[in-house]
Amino acid sequence: MVSEMEIIDPPLEQAALCPHSPDLMAQPRSPECEECGSRFNLRSCTECGHVGCCESQAGHARAHALDENHPVIEQMTSNGPGFAWCYDEKRYIR
């Protein structure tokens, strides 16, 4: 549920240029892909915090984004969020 979701810092100013970027970014809900358990090249849904693997693996992050209409994902790195991608606009937004 949205009310129980942990929230991290708002998106960077550049991300605000994308109308699909949420006002508050959801914190990743898992340290691994929620579908296959991969711990490499992870992406987090900025809307709900779902964690999926990248397209070079099984593509669970992309599948979630398209199935749930949550178009913006963030790269998960050991130093915090990396790039952000919008599937609707097909471009990096950060």
Each domain of the chain, given as residue ranges in start order, spans 2-92
User: Whole-prediction pTM value?
Assistant: 0.80
Residue 17: predicted pLDDT: 74
Q: Are 15 and 93 in contact (CB under 8 A)?
A: yes
Q: Are 44 and 33 in contact (CB under 8 A)?
A: no
Q: Are 44 and 76 in contact (CB under 8 A)?
A: yes
Query: How high does pLDDT run on average in the chain?
Result: 85
Any idea which fold 2-92 has? Herpes Virus-1 (3.30.40)
Q: What would the pLDDT profile of 24-80 be if each residue is shown by its tens digit?
A: 889 999 999 999 999 999 999 999 999 999 999 999 999 999 999 999 999 999 887
